Homo-oligomer: A and B are copies of this chain.
Amino acid sequence: MRVPISILTDFGYDDEFVGVVHGVIARIAPSVRVLDITHGIARGDIHGGAMALTRAVQFMPDGVFLAVVDPGVGTDRRAIAARTPIGHFVGPDNGLLAPAVAMVGGADLIVSLEDERFRLPVSGATFDGRDVFGPAAAVLADEQADIADLGPVLDPDSITPLLIPLAEPAGNGAIKASVLWVDTYGNAQLNVSAEDLNSLGLEMGDDVLVGASMRETTISWQVSFGSVDEGQPVVHVDSHGQIALAVRGGRADEHLEISVGDSVIIGRPDGGNRIDLTIVGS
């Protein structure tokens, strides 16, 4: 059965890179549909690409997932395809694919994309999106080849993992979380869930003291922006079920001066219905 291809890259929108990958796929598999997840991942940001792929994958149609954030192109990092319960993942084996593959149930087969029949016979060694990954995605989506045709089978457990920071105990019942993502609107997603906050004794409606070295502010945990006034910050469960910091009509990243990777201590020093959320910096 022919399936769609969903693509995520750091190619940006200035050059013809995205179009060329679409072109390569269209030449090989003209009837395959291609969806763009995004091509705006920061250049070379494997972590950001992996997070975006992981967030997106459950909302895309089953099929082939082609992801290219590949600062190691032209080195000896492996180029792989992985078979999972929802379809095939294709990309560099640099950690980019691992979290999404794990989230959808893991891979039962991984191959190294070495078979020359499924690579473009071109000059250079620096555009594997066009020459290696695009063709592999196209033949898989169009069922022109089985994944096992594409190259030597690898140990499925050998996929390069990505270190995703987990929240951890910080003493006195507090936890140390970190900022996983700041989106285009300035919302800052943490690596904690509502359950994590509940386990600290916090319930929606409670106040959270968000503090950093030089500044402190009390923020209420609410269902959404709508429960606070314009310009005010809020702690809420975001659209991925994670705790996030936001500002109604504003940007939490600027308001709270936080960035991806910053640590945030969430504690409950006085035992009351207030916890401290301290931005430590990365």
Contact = CB atoms under 8 A, between A and B. Distances in A.
A122 interface: yes
A35 B40 contact: no
Given A74-B226, A124-B238, A126-B239, A38 B59 contact: no
A60 interface: yes
Nearest to A36: B19
A23 B38 CA distance: 12
Nearest to A127: B239
A161 interface: no
Contact of A124 (B12, B75, B125, B237): B237
Contacts of A71: 249
Interface stretch (A3-11, A103-111, A209-217, A258-266): A3-11
Interface stretch (A24-32, A144-152, A170-178): A24-32
A56 interface: yes
B40 A184 contact: no
A190 to B, nearest CB: 13
Given A184-B14, A239-B127, A61 B23 contact: yes
Interface string A148-185: 00000000000000000000000000000000000111
B38 A19 contact: yes
A39 to B, nearest CB: 7
Given A123-B237, A130-B239, A184 B224 contact: no
Given A59-B130, A127-B239, A131-B239, A224 B74 contact: yes
A282 to B, nearest CB: 20
B241 A124 contact: yes
Interface SS, A side: loop
A16 B55 contact: yes
Contact of A8 (B16, B125, B184): B16
A137 to B, nearest CB: 14
B23 A60 contact: yes
Given A39-B13, A40-B12, A126 B236 contact: yes
Interface string A183-206: 111010000000000000000000
Interface of A: 4, 6, 8, 11-20, 22-24, 26-27, 30, 33, 35-41, 43-44, 52-53, 55-56, 59-61, 71-76, 122-127, 130-131, 183-185, 187, 223-226, 236-241, 246, 248-249
Which 6 pairs between the two chains have the least Cβ-Cβ distance?
A74-B224, A75-B226, A19-B37, A127-B239, A123-B241, A23-B60
Given A16-B52, A59-B130, 13 more contacts: A12-B184, A16-B55, A19-B36, A20-B37, A24-B59, A27-B59, A27-B61, A74-B236, A124-B224, A125-B223, A125-B226, A126-B187, A131-B239
